[in-house]
Amino acid sequence: MAKGNSSPQRSARGASEDDGDSKCRLDKWLWAARFFKTRALATEAANKGHVKLNDALAKPSRDVKVGDQIAVLIQHSTWTVDVLGLSTVRASAPIAQALYSETPTSKATREAAATARRLAPEPAQAITQGRPTKRDRRDLQKASGKGASKGWGDRWAASVDD
């Protein structure tokens, strides 16, 4: 029972500490704002250079303040957001979305890239039958004249040159 009673107090203290803080770790903020599913993924992205804080590469332990601008590369699109609030506690999506506002240029760029990906066909989808079979490869070689019906002796010579 003592465990059950202490955990709500601990979470209440954590929430009140977040409200009074003027800064927060970058990896915790990215996780709380739901850009990444786990904090480890947020840390990994920052270590790989996929996160910029105020146009400078940022480490996961860098402090985020209200008013900072963060650029995050997620999959194939870059999100540029202004920090409106701080939190180290992961909450529901509407609360997480209240922590930031996306810049209009970022939103337009992401939508344009998504439209381009939708309109441009995937090259792998053009292949209908998969890779060629051995028979198909031989037919291609016959049609191109390479190695078509040459005997074994033409390729390998066991005789001594005179």
Cα-trace Rg, the chain: 29
DSSP H/E element including 99? none
- Maximum Cα–Cα distance for the chain, whole Å? 99
Residue linked to tokens 């409200």:
19
Q: Do the beta carbons of residue 63 and residue 23 sit within 8 Å?
A: yes
In this prediction, residue 132 carries a pLDDT of 80
> What are the C-alpha distances in Å from 116 to residues 78, 90, 106, 123?
15, 33, 15, 14
pLDDT of residue 154: 53
Whole-angstrom distance, CA of residue 100 vs CA of residue 121:
33
The answer to pTM > 0.85 is no
pLDDT tens column, 97-112: 999 999 999 999 999 9
pLDDT at 123: 74
Distance CA(114)–CA(24), nearest Å, equals: 32
- The pLDDT of residue 6 is 43
Q: What is the pLDDT of residues 32-41, one digit of tens each?
A: 999 999 999 9
**Residue 158 falls in which region: left (phi positive, over 0), alpha (psi -120 to 50) or beta:** alpha
Query: Which pair of tokens denotes residue 121?
Result: 């066909």
Q: Which domains does the chain have, with CATH numbers?
A: 17-114 (3.10.290.10)
Average pLDDT, 10 consecutive residues per value, the chain (162 residues): 42 42 89 96 95 94 95 92 94 95 95 89 73 85 68 56 58
